[in-house]
Structure 1
Amino acid sequence: MPVLPQLEGSTFNADLRDRHIIHDNAAHDRNGNPEKWRYEIWFFNEDRVIYAIHGGPMADRKNFQAATYQCIRFGELWQVNWQEETGTICSLVLDIPNQRLSTLLGFSKRHWRTENEAAHGDKRNAEDFARWRELAKIESSQADRILLSEQAEILEDSRGVGDLEPIDLSWQTL
């Protein structure tokens, strides 16, 4: 696919297209003890991300989403943003030279605190997908959010699918 107009002239193809990253977020459990939450993300193309969550409260989740990419500094810093069917807003900044990620996630409070297991599963499974869409409806206000900011060390940085599954670009996203 051609690069989107806002990415024309950027280093998107060299920096992100088909890049596959595995990282551990430095997080804390419910008791405040440090722990690592493993994530895997594939910057599939200029408007899709494919990812899996392997650790933490949202572990055992596989998803893909339409995403926006914004270059902060060519060859060095990129911001990637998307919204999930659950209503969760996701933003990450990839620091290429330092091999780090900084993330901001905006969960509904009830989704994060008491209904996080409902977000487990694979978007390709119709039952999981339908359940996720219901999570977006559980709060009465957009102000009922938990903002989770994390930093991660990149453990693996490669090109291609890795252990994730490719998608058909016709599949539904937000």
Structure 2
Amino acid sequence: MPLNPATSETTTAFKSDLEDRHLIYDYAVQPCSSNNGREEKWRYEMWFYSASRIVYAIHGGPMAGRKNFQAATYQCIRPGELWQVNWLEETGTICSLVYDLPRGKITTLLGFSRGHWERSEEARGDKRNPGDLERWRGLARIGDQRERVLLSEQADIVEDFWGSGELEGIEEEWETM
């Protein structure tokens, strides 16, 4: 069930609000000990590819250099205003993103697996490379559910357009996990 609820209203809203939409956004990460007391910009790129898939790339922050695509579920909170998108990564990381269309904001909760968080360099690469995918799957086996790192952040959208941009397309039947 990639679209929730799957009604004629939400299907129509998805087509006009999200389908084939491409966002580039920056998280302004506040100063803390892990970034030496400096504010940082973490740049992410998200393409809402279809009603069942997302494609993304990470350009800044500890996960920079990651290119991925995932099976996703979309939940319409308010057509034309708020959407929630959720997915599980092969690294064991749980992702939940809320897109506030009128305000141009992204709000996320990420539940990083211990392996993904502690070995972020190993989470880099491109899922289309079988070696990268297998390495990422190995990250999910490090630690257990209680050792997740929860990260809640908000981002400002800096670009909003339709189409692939510089991201590569995928086939719907490609394995995501």
TM-score by length of 2: 0.92
1:35 matched to which residue of 2? 40
Q: Which of 122, 125, 128 is the matching residue for 2:126?
A: 122
The offset of 1:5, in angstroms, is 7.3
The offset of 1:110, in angstroms, is 4.3
CA–CA separation in structure 2 for the residues paired with 1:95 and 1:135: 31
SS at structure 1 position matched to 2:49: strand
SS at structure 1 position matched to 2:171: coil
Q: Percent identity between the aligned chains?
A: 61
2:25 matched to which residue of 1? 23
Q: 1:22-70 deviations in whole A, cap 9, x for unaligned?
A: 0001114612421100000000010100000000000000000000000
Q: Indicate if the aligned counterparts of 2:73 and 2:87 stay in contact, CA closer than 8 A.
A: yes
Q: Which has the higher helix share?
A: 2
CA–CA separation in structure 1 for the residues paired with 2:69 and 2:160: 19
2:78 matched to which residue of 1? 73
1:94 matched to which residue of 2? 99
The offset of 1:109, in angstroms, is 3.1
Q: 1:57-100 deviations in whole A, cap 9, x for unaligned?
A: 00000000000000111100000000100000001000000000
- Could you list the runs of 5+ residues in structure 2 that have no partner in the other structure? none
The offset of 1:4, in angstroms, is 5.0
1:155 matched to which residue of 2? 158
Q: 1:3-27 deviations in whole A, cap 9, x for unaligned?
A: 9573332111000000000000111
CA RMSD in angstroms comes to 1.4
User: 1:131 corresponds to which letter in structure 2?
Assistant: R
Cα 1:110–1:167 change in 2 (3 A) is closer
1:106 matched to which residue of 2? 111
Pairs aligned (count): 170
User: 2:171 corresponds to which letter in structure 1?
Assistant: D
Bigger Cα displacement from structure 2, 25-34 vs 82-91: 25-34
Q: 1:103-144 deviations in whole A, cap 9, x for unaligned?
A: 1111123431x31100000000000000000000011x2011
The structure 1 segments of at least 4 consecutive aligned residues displaced by more than 4 Å after TM superposition are none
1:146 matched to which residue of 2? 149
Q: Which of 36, 47, 54 is the matching residue for 1:49?
A: 54
1:164 matched to which residue of 2? 167
CA–CA separation in structure 1 for the residues paired with 2:172 and 2:131: 21
CA–CA separation in structure 1 for the residues paired with 2:88 and 2:115: 17
